[in-house]
């Protein structure tokens, strides 16, 4: 078992580029993030079309494609920071030429809708960062932003999480993959679909109906994605909705039903996802996950 290819660590004085592959954003939305990135000694480059608008999107599909392609190919750009999620990343992936990027990988970070880009990079065996985004910097806990900095600058990553009564104890080692449940299901059967076997999987989601979440967990199971994973980290499932006729199960009960026949370790309520505490995860990197009654650790 080997790590996926890791992009070079950032150095002070290098340039990062801010783009949006999904929803529109304003300059005011990212001012706090720009100040923080500059305090890290980094230079900021703004994607040509970042502040464009086309409906809810940050420009047309063609404009967002142009920004991602330019950032991938730009020799002066050492990392690409997705400014926000929403919806739209999956619409442009098949229009991107990754050949130059494969020859000269660079860190790409983001979460939520950016999950589709993460899985595509995992298909290319290149690491990326599931992390907070500039749109969230004004409400993030310090660990969310600091953990992103640590991965970008190749510092040690160790996490210790509180125990949960629902956890299934155990120990495993594997390459860490995952992201937003809706997007993980959305890429099944596409060029961005990935192999889950032997991997430590983390999953989060937000603003979904309980019955829809149940349907997606069933889809993962029917697609064979769950049966051979090494371990499961259940992130934040926030702002959940229900129908007038209640679904009758909590998100924890939905997940338990989907995985009850397997015996890999599981930890719940991990601070990954749509919450103020959203720790950064280097997708495609080997880690050890230890789920014990008193503590959970994830060590890369």
pLDDT tens-digit profile of 190-216?
999 999 999 999 999 999 999 999 999
CA atoms within 13 A on the CB side of 240: 18
**pLDDT score recorded for residue 2:** 85
In angstroms, rounded to a whole number, what is the distance separating the alpha carbons of residues 216 and 210? 10
Domain ranges of the chain: 15-152, 158-299
**pLDDT score recorded for residue 128:** 98
Instruction: Please give the CATH number for the structural domain made up of 15-152.
Output: 3.40.50.10740
Active-site residue 118, yes or no?
no
**pLDDT score recorded for residue 39:** 98
**pLDDT score recorded for residue 1:** 79
- Are 136 and 206 spatial neighbours (Cβ–Cβ below 8 Å)? no
Active-site residue 274, yes or no?
yes
Over its length of 300 residues, how does the chain's per-residue pLDDT go in tens digits? 788 999 999 999 999 999 999 999 999 999 999 999 999 999 999 999 999 999 999 999 999 999 999 999 999 999 999 999 999 999 999 999 999 999 999 999 999 999 999 999 999 999 999 999 999 999 999 999 999 999 999 999 999 999 999 999 999 999 999 999 999 999 999 999 999 999 999 999 999 999 999 999 999 999 999 999 999 999 999 999 999 999 999 999 999 999 999 999 999 999 999 999 999 999 999 999 999 999 999 999
- Are 285 and 6 spatial neighbours (Cβ–Cβ below 8 Å)? yes
The single residue of 118, 120, 130, 274 carrying the catalytic annotation is 274
In angstroms, rounded to a whole number, what is the distance separating the alpha carbons of residues 129 and 149? 10
Cα 25–Cα 131–Cα 142 angle in degrees, nearest 5: 95
The single residue of 204, 208, 275, 290 carrying the catalytic annotation is 204
**pLDDT score recorded for residue 244:** 94
The single residue of 20, 109, 112, 128 carrying the catalytic annotation is 112
- Are 180 and 111 spatial neighbours (Cβ–Cβ below 8 Å)? yes
Q: Which of 96, 62, 64, 61 is nearest to 191 (CA)?
A: 96
Active-site residue 147, yes or no?
no
In angstroms, rounded to a whole number, what is the distance separating the alpha carbons of residues 181 and 281? 16
CATH superfamily of 158-299: LD-carboxypeptidase A C-terminal domain-like (3.50.30.60)
**pLDDT score recorded for residue 3:** 86
Contacts of residue 169, defined as CB under 8 A and 6 or more positions apart, other chains included, come to: 265, 291, 292, 293
């Amino acid at each position: 078992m080997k790590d996926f290819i890791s992009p070079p660590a950032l150095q002070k004085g290098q340039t990062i580029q801010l783009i949006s592959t999904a929803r529109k954003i304003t300059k005011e939305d990212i001012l706090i993030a720009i100040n923080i990135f500059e305090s890290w000694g980094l230079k900021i480059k703004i994607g040509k079309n970042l502040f464009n608008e086309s409906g809810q999107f940050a420009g047309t599909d063609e404009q967002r494609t142009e920004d991602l392609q330019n950032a991938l190919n730009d020799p002066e750009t050492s990392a690409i920071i997705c400014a926000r999620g929403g919806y739209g990343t999956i619409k442009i992936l098949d229009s991107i030429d990754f050949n130059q990027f494969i020859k000269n990988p660079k860190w790409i970070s983001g979460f939520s809708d950016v999950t589709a880009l993460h899985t595509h990079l995992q298909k290319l065996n290149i690491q990326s960062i599931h992390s907070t985004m500039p749109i969230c910097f004004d409400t993030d806990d310090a660990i969310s932003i600091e953990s992103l900095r640590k991965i970008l600058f190749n510092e040690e990553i160790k996490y210790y999480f509180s125990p949960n009564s629902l956890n299934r104890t155990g120990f495993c080692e594997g390459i860490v993959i995952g992201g937003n449940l809706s997007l993980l299901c959305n890429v099944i059967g596409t060029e961005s679909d990935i192999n889950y076997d032997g991997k430590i999987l983390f999953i989060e989601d937000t603003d979904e109906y309980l019955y829809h979440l149940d349907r997606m967990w069933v889809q993962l199971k029917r697609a064979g994605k769950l049966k051979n994973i090494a371990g499961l980290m259940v992130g934040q499932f926030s702002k959940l909705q229900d129908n007038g006729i209640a679904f009758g199960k909590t998100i924890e009960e939905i997940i338990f039903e989907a995985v009850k026949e397997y015996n890999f370790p599981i930890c719940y309520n991990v601070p990954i996802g749509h919450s103020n505490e959203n720790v950064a995860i280097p997708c495609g990197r080997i880690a050890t996950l230890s789920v014990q009654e008193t503590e959970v650790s994830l060590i890369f």
